[in-house]
Amino acid sequence: MSWSSPYLAVAFYKYVPIEEAEVFAVKHLKYCQRLGIFGRIIVADEGLNGQLSGTVAQCEQYMSDLISDERFSKTDFKIDEADRLAFQKIHVRYKPEIVHSGLKGIDPAHKTGKHLSAEEFKELKKKDNVVIVDMRSNYEHHVGRFKGAITLDIENFRDLPTKMNELAELKDKTVITYCTGGIKCEKASAYLLENGFNDVYQLDGGILKYAKTGGGEDFEGKCYVFDGRVVVDVNTVNPVLVSSCIHCGTPSARMINCVNELCNNQIVMCESCGWEWDGACSEACKHEAKRAYDGTGYYTKSSHQSTVISQQ
């Protein structure tokens, strides 16, 4: 495939058992360092979850090498062209899960919701008794979501079990789950099935793949991503903006972290208010634990982590 930009941003995940996953993580970090690619990869006994950024050649080499391993041969990559690197460091870490959920005994590799292509999703959501459920956190769906979707008031994906009483009302309906790249709804749909839901689907590849293969139709706003781009466009068919500046209410999709290191809330703030409020979400945050605001609202942490903005 030919690319018009010098860099690529690649997101992927794969639920597949990895033996000696901690050893795999160490070796995989050394491989990425040799390749010179940047990003964040989580390795767990249950699989891989990664977001990468590099030159076209680096990203193509990484994807080719990964799928040459039989365990990852069917990995689905979501690829965006970029004019700059979306990461500045490479981290490969072993964690208990590839997306933190705390959902014990849930194995999406064994049982999960039925996958829907973009076209299948468009058709099914038109039918009666069908509901669409956003499985992302508040800060994610605040800046963009599917028209008519049910959103959950959760700060982290691990809060999903606290919403099961609310979701129980949907058990007699056809439920379509979705998230950014598919990883959360893969596990969430499996969790729903384990809790008595019978007709559960998931949008294959999430919002990012839908944007590429379906034109992003009926997705309102922008999609939050876990790299330096922060948000990306989705809808080229019928786009609308759904988020607004926390201070002045001006329509905006400019997502930043609060300048207060102890607060660090992810908020929508227009550029003008960013400078007026010095990157703070409140008056109190302008004066406490304040970092230097440079107009981006994107802060580096200590040397062992790449950014404050992180996946929950």
- Return the active site residues: 179
Output Rg (C-alpha) for the chain, integer angstroms.
Answer: 19
Check if the beta carbon of residue 301 is closer than 8 Å to that of residue 308: yes
d(CA 137, CA 309): 13
Whose tokens are 């749909």? That residue is: 189
Check if the beta carbon of residue 38 is closer than 8 Å to that of residue 53: yes
Of 29, 39, 35, 49, give the one whose Cα is nearest residue 85. 39
The full DSSP string for 42-105 is EEETTEEEEEEEEEHHHHHHHHHHHHTSGGGTTPPPEEEEESS-S-SSEEEEE-SSSS----TT
Spell out the residues 6+ positions from residue 158 whose beta carbon is closer than 8 angstroms to its own.
100, 101, 102, 312
Enter the DSSP assignment of 260: B
Please provide residue 216's backbone torsions phi and psi, each rounded to the nearest 5 degrees.
75, 15
Please provide residue 101's backbone torsions phi and psi, each rounded to the nearest 5 degrees.
-130, -35
